[in-house]
Amino acid sequence: MRQKLSGIAFLIGVLWSSTLPAQQPKIPIVGFLNSASSTGYAGMAASFRQGLKEAGFIEGENVQIEYRWANDDYSRLPEMAKDLVARGVAVIFANSPSIPPAKAATSTIPVVFSSGDDPVRLGFIGSLNRPGGNMTGVAMMSNELAAKRLALLCDLIPGTRRVAALINTDFGPSGRFRTDVEGAARALGVAGGCPTGWVGGEG
């Protein structure tokens, strides 16, 4: 994940370099919108800064980064996104839960996202090869791997009868994740004795 963030930031910097005017009147601002906390996300934020640095943008020298941390209170994200737009940022980077508020806040400022789910299915972009609009980014498609993860778990621990999962119910795509895992559990229950029930640790 840290390498991905570094790569995303590098891409932002390279694309940005090609569009900035020769005479830039002020230091450009990157908006960093994140649902987590600065403490929990510190390593990944450092990777993001490193990626910008590799593209020639050094925080405090020729670029400013405006951080907005929701500290896991997703209800704060819409106002934070609007605040970044009001600050006149040149681009917004958003993690998965921050994408909808960022998309709602602007249709003109580029939004570069890191998504764990399918951004097309969620309506963030038109298609993977032609995102359209002001949204682009990287999708890890981790939800699509839910069934495979469960199958691997059953292979590693033969005879598994119950599986627990921790889900953040405040994050919309978690509902799809639960459905996918439950479906995989039922299928594996027929074929290999894996659980058909669900023990949820949700929070």
Run of H or E including 91: strand 91-95
pLDDT score recorded for residue 198: 39
State which of 89, 104, 139 marks the end of a domain. 139
Same domain, 51 and 88: yes
Same domain, 104 and 41: yes
Same domain, 156 and 176: yes
Quick: pLDDT tens for 114-134: 887 777 777 788 777 778 889
State which of 139, 158, 180 marks the end of a domain. 139
Query: Which portions of the chain are predicted below pLDDT 70?
Result: 1-25, 141-145, 170-175, 189-203
Same domain, 130 and 163: no
Same domain, 191 and 149: yes
pLDDT score recorded for residue 171: 64
**Tally of domains in the chain:** 2
For residue 63, what is the domain's CATH number?
3.40.50.2300
DSSP string, 2-43: HHHHHHHHHHHHHHHHHHS-SS-SS--EEEEEESS-TTTTHH
Quick: pLDDT tens for 129-162: 778 889 888 877 665 667 777 778 778 877 777 7
Same domain, 135 and 162: no
Same domain, 133 and 179: no
The residue type at 203: G
Spell out the residues 6+ positions from residue 18 whose beta carbon is closer than 8 angstroms to its own. none
Spell out the residues 6+ positions from residue 194 whose beta carbon is closer than 8 angstroms to its own. 150, 151, 153, 154, 160, 163, 185, 188
Same domain, 64 and 16: yes
pLDDT score recorded for residue 199: 40
pLDDT score recorded for residue 197: 41
Spell out the residues 6+ positions from residue 3 whose beta carbon is closer than 8 angstroms to its own. 47
Same domain, 118 and 188: no
Run of H or E including 78: helix 77-86
Same domain, 115 and 20: yes
Spell out the residues 6+ positions from residue 78 whose beta carbon is closer than 8 angstroms to its own. 101, 104, 105
Same domain, 83 and 154: no
pLDDT score recorded for residue 126: 78
Same domain, 76 and 132: yes
Domain of residue 128 covers 2-139
pLDDT score recorded for residue 121: 77
State which of 101, 122, 139 marks the end of a domain. 139
Measure the CA–CA gap between 193 and 189, rounded to whole angstroms: 4
